[in-house]
């Protein structure tokens, strides 16, 4: 089980975060970025899983700028609430919040970032606009294509599903063309959210392969 902490941003905002720690000496740290459903049980479980892999894991509550402590489920109303809340966030605020999480995580050592859905796009933004990252992994980040011309400041690895209705294959190909040096993995029979075991789109096999690649990537670049 992790603990709730507070982070202070450089623009004076205070946000909550979930922090999970490994049982032994940490290899480094991983910032875990939420889907549009807030830092809910699934995101806390993800943070716990990275802690079990040996990293201090911090999941910042990016929705706190709109509504404190917001977390929702996966029904239609929840989805609409998540989309509306995400729509009220500004990129500058998102970057500031993630930077605060990176700065806190850096007290441990090198820092990687991983994000899912909305968080996948945020991880790409962080790779390009935040300081202090050693690696960034993105999972089905729907906003990456719109920012594909940005330049990352650290190694990046991307994961997509071939049946993602929100991210068509042509967009994935254009991302590859813009960044031929970035490993982009596309998983068969996988839709949006294929690594969320609380969603109908969960694909255990694809998720396991993606996780193994992510952990290997962090081992190489974070510790």
Q: What's the pLDDT tens digit per position in 16-45?
A: 999 999 999 999 999 999 999 999 999 999
Q: What tens digit of pLDDT does each residue of 125-157 get?
A: 999 999 999 999 999 999 999 999 999 999 999
Q: CB-based contacts of 206: which residues, under 8 Å, 6+ apart? A: 161, 187, 188, 189, 190, 194, 195
Report the distance separating Cα 183 and Cα 85, nearest Å.
31
pTM recorded for the entire structure? 0.97
Taking the chain, what is the end-to-end CA distance rounded to the nearest angstrom? 23
What the chain holds in terms of domains, given with CATH numbers, is: 3-221 (3.40.50.1820)
Residues in the chain: 223
Give just the sign of the alpha carbon dihedral 89, 35, 147, 218. Answer: positive
């Amino acid at each position: 089980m992790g603990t709730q902490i507070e982070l202070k941003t450089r623009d004076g905002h205070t946000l909550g975060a979930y922090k999970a720690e490994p049982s032994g000496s940490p290899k480094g740290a991983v910032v875990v970025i939420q889907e549009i459903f807030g830092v809910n049980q699934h995101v806390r479980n993800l943070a716990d899983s990275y802690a079990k892999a040996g990293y201090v894991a911090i999941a910042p509550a990016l929705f706190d700028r709109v509504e404190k402590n917001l977390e929702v489920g996966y029904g239609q109303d929840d989805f609409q609430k998540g989309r509306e809340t995400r729509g009220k966030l500004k990129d500058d605020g998102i970057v500031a919040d993630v930077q605060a999480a990176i700065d806190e995580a850096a007290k441990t050592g090198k820092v990687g970032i991983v994000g899912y859905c909305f968080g996948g796009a945020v991880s790409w933004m962080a790779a390009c606009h935040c300081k202090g990252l050693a690696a960034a992994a993105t999972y089905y980040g729907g906003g990456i294509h719109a920012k594909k011309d940005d330049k990352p400041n650290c190694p990046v690895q991307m994961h997509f599903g071939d049946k993602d209705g929100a991210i068509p294959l042509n967009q994935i190909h254009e991302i590859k063309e813009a960044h031929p040096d970035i490993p982009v993995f596309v998983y068969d029979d996988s839709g949006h959210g294929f690594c969320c075991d609380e969603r109908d789109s969960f694909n255990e096999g694809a998720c396991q392969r993606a996780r193994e690649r992510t952990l290997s990537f962090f081992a190489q670049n974070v510790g």
